[in-house]
Amino acid sequence: MSKRISLNFKNSYLNLPNEFYTKVHPTPVPNPKIIMFNQELAESMQLNISNYSDEDKASLFSGNQIPNNITPFSQAYAGHQFGHFTILGDGRAHILGEHLMPNGTLMDIQFKGSGKTPYSRRGDGRAALGPMLREYIISEAMHALGIPTTRSLAVVTTGENIIRETTLPGAILTRVASSHIRVGTFEFAATTQDITTIKQLLDYTINRHFPNLNSSNQKAIDFLNNTINRQIDLIINWMRVGFIHGVMNTDNMAISGETIDYGPCAFMDSYDPGTVFSSIDQMGRYAFANQPIIAQWNLTRLAETLLPLFDKNMDKAVDIAKESLQEFSKLYNTKWLEMMKSKLGLFNTDSNDESLIIDLLNWMTANHADNTNTFIDLSKNKTNQKQYQTSEFKNWHTRWQNRIKKNNKDLKDSINLMQSHNPIFIPRNHLIEKALDEATNNNLEPFNKLISVLKTPYKDNQKLKLYKISAPPSKYPYQTFCGT
């Protein structure tokens, strides 16, 4: 080791009651090697470790050497998993600390796969290389798409094998997040049945994410309403690009409004509102079209934890919660319509806009149209391809063209609007699988190339046609796994 690593972190989360965390160090690994380091992210955070050797970085991001004045910890939380409540916690994750960003905000730096914690239950606390690289790809792709997300700073192989269905190389991911406070964190606080504890968590979360609410005389209500709005904006973005989270348990809904926990997630190729990729979602609870419904369900669980802070009279508190939650559908539908209009280059308002959008989506479903490429073809006026030659589509296309004429704007404005809302490149599932297969066999070239392409998802490049194509037909449906 060439130097003792020292970073200027905080641990403000440790000011909460002890129930919310356990101070615990990562489990050392035998032979850490850094294989991915996000220099761009490190620079944006002004995390100045550019002069560290690869050995130093591997030691830091494996948890083998904890920086000076740092107290690692794992968080306790609860959650509704597929609708069933359980007490949980970081079973294989350690928060190193909170890095002070240039704008004054705090960012958690967390290790995933860093060893057992008191919340591991029967788990080994470790992670395999493939799932950690998968999170790196998709979280960085989401950032480039302009969608709030946790980000990936580094991936380190551990030099040890872990046992899942087979023997796999072990790895640790370093994740950066505005915080790791979840709906499930509030559910955990509510289990204490102590109003003081719930209020301490609320005050901490407001200071961290909604400091403008500190002057409010109804902080709990305003907090719920602000959280609802952030979650609506997040889900709208998921729907915009065809992203399916796959496991929208309440412990995977971050209060910050960031996408968190990239386990059995994936992007749709062919548009189908019933699409499910997760191997554990047997009933389609978290299907693409269900995501706004589940978000509202999760927010209802959050509201339940805050009832004692809404009003001392429980009946009044319930009425307050209902009033806020009933706004969800109205707000979501309004924002969804505006988002879809943007994808189609529509300005102003027309009474037929919603039917125009729904008719297109129905046609896409019936014809297994590519969710990403359909909107790109429309924006580029490339509808002379075979799949667009049906009378049904041609009739729809005529209606759309007539609607665009009502924009009272130049056609160029419509095209610019479409291009800013419709990515050309998404993390195609077959490309991810190929990159991960090669990476686990010590070939990072496809992985690095995919990362490079996904950095500019709205900029076309005719040399990258292979990155635009749907997965080849398969008799087996594509499945993703949680990677635990």
> Which residues are the active-site residues?
251
460 CB-near residues (< 8 Å, 6+ apart) = 424
CA proximity to 144, closest of 442, 357, 427, 391: 427
- C-alpha 368/C-alpha 381 separation (Å) is 20
CA proximity to 431, closest of 455, 411, 447: 447
- Within 10 angstroms of residue 44's Cβ, the number of other Cβ atoms is 13
- C-alpha 382/C-alpha 422 separation (Å) is 15
- C-alpha 158/C-alpha 171 separation (Å) is 5
Residue 48 token pair: 């100045």
Could you tell me if 47 and 102 are in contact, meaning their C-beta atoms sit under 8 angstroms apart? Answer: no
- C-alpha 214/C-alpha 210 separation (Å) is 8
- Within 10 angstroms of residue 316's Cβ, the number of other Cβ atoms is 12
How many residues does this entry show for the chain?
A: 484
Could you tell me if 454 and 446 are in contact, meaning their C-beta atoms sit under 8 angstroms apart? Answer: no
Residue 414 token pair: 């419509």
Could you tell me if 137 and 447 are in contact, meaning their C-beta atoms sit under 8 angstroms apart? Answer: yes
Residue 438 token pair: 């090669």
